Amino acid sequence: MQKRNIEILVGGFVLLGFMGLVFLALKAANLGSMTSSGGSYVVTARFDNIGGLKAKAAVRTAGVVVGRVESIELDDKTFQARVTIAMDKRYVFPKDSSLKILTSGLLGEQYVGLEAGADAANLVAGDTIGATQSAVVLENLISQFLYSKAAEGASSDPSGR
């Protein structure tokens, strides 16, 4: 009887630990941060390059999650990425707001940064945000740096070669 009670206690402890890990995983992924009962409204934006942006990525302004990336598709006419964003209804932004794809830290997750504009009219469901800035691709930055250093070295070669 005592052995059975210990097994039940250990099982409960393991179950509690597993639930704690699931909770921490959801918090780390920021999946539980937009759960308001007010709903959301959907806007779209076009980017030339989205880098590693994924669906469910956060949309943040001033560090606060105000929305989520709902879907990402390729527009076969303009060959741009069309990003659909679900914005929390609690937050309203001017129509001339801008979006840019940013990275948390040096090698962290990518998210969409929203900068509020100054227009009197606000974004509503179905609007398209026109002012966007694509993701900065680390490989492109490195290659530009190396190319500029190589060109700089060639121009300062005293032998004239």
Q: Tell me the domain boundaries of the chain.
A: 1-32, 40-145
**65, 30 in Cβ contact below 8 A?**
yes
- pLDDT of the residue at 152: 79
Question: 17 — alpha (psi -120 to 50), left (phi > 0) or beta?
Answer: alpha
Helix (H) or strand (E) holding 4: helix 2-28
**48, 134 in Cβ contact below 8 A?**
yes
Picking from 135, 73, 69, the residue whose alpha carbon sits closest to that of residue 104 is 135
SS3 22: helix
- pLDDT of the residue at 99: 93
**155, 147 in Cβ contact below 8 A?**
no
pTM above 0.75, yes or no: no
**55, 69 in Cβ contact below 8 A?**
yes
- pLDDT of the residue at 46: 93
In the sheet with 131-133, reading across from the earlier edge strand, the strands are 128-129, 40-47, 80-88, 64-75, 58-61, 110-115, 98-103, 131-133
pLDDT in tens, the chain (161 residues): 788 888 898 999 999 999 998 888 877 765 555 444 568 899 999 999 898 889 999 999 998 999 999 999 998 999 999 999 999 999 999 999 999 998 887 777 889 999 998 888 888 888 888 888 887 777 777 888 888 877 877 776 555 55
Locus of tokens 């469901």: 125
